[in-house]
Amino acid sequence: MLIRVGSRGSRLALTQAELAAARLRGPGIEIALVPITTAGDRDRTSPFGEIGARGVFVKELEEALLDGRIDVAVHSAKDMTSTDTDGLAVGAYLEREDPRDALCGTATLRAGMRVGTASVRRRAQLLALEPTLSIEPMRGNIDTRLRKRGERGLDAIVLAACGLDRLNLGKEIGHRFDPDEMVPEAGQGALALQVRAGEEHLVGAGDHGETRRRVEAERTCVAVIGGGCLAPVAAHHNGEHLTALVAAEDGSWIERRSGDDPGEVAAALMPFVSA
């Protein structure tokens, strides 16, 4: 049996696809990796708001699934929209790795530093931690952003720790933000294996139940709030409870709520969404 696994073509994405392939291979099962270019890959300079809403790194992979060109799509769960696309389902979440954000270039935030990130979620929380920071837009794959930090003379950039770890670049990390210090993106650290609805059996053996429980709670909370790449919204489940955040882009205010029920946590934050 041949399973065609679709992935973005970056070094990190292909590394993650290989992790998924290793879980799917078995007696009588062959894996073919199919690189697919997404809108977010084609345009590496424009702000996300000019490309589209959350999902700019998954849309083409989902279209390939629906068209029958691939059988499984491997996503960073944080890149997915907060609700499932009609006709598709997450058949498995691989066991979550480090969900934290990582500060690269220094171990501490200091007044007046120039920090690179394209994420409004990170921008808001960084400015809340140190209002005098200069936050500069930066996009591109991990290798590109690490290189641009030096070329542009930035003091630091912020990336997902899991991506650096997967590429054996953990040495670049000066500080890993505790989730209580900087709430991660919903799904950060987890890989989602998406399939056509009804074909969950193709990947079901790789599903990690505890990761699914936590990530689905995070995605549900963000879906109720209505957040996405363009809004400073975050959610993280630490195994005991869910914490979600809504913030102003300039970090002038941040509201956090915690609890067991994603709907209740989201409802507690709704008054601040349009603040």
Q: How far apart are CA 140 and CA 219, in angstroms?
A: 25
Please count the CA atoms within 13 angstroms of the CA of 132 that sit on its side-chain side. 5
Residues facing 103 on adjacent strands: 158, 175
Q: How far apart are CA 184 and CA 158, in angstroms?
A: 12
What interhelical angle do 262-273 and 209-225 show, nearest 10? Answer: 30
Active-site hit among 41, 71, 79, 101: 79
Q: How far apart are CA 109 and CA 155, in angstroms?
A: 9
Look up tokens 């000019």; give the residue. 50
- Joined together, the tokens standing for residue 189 give 């650290």
> Order of strands across the sheet with 173-176?
134-136, 114-116, 156-160, 101-104, 173-176
Q: How far apart are CA 135 and CA 261, in angstroms?
A: 34
Query: Is 79 one of the annotated active-site residues of the chain?
Result: yes
Q: Which residues are catalytic?
A: 79
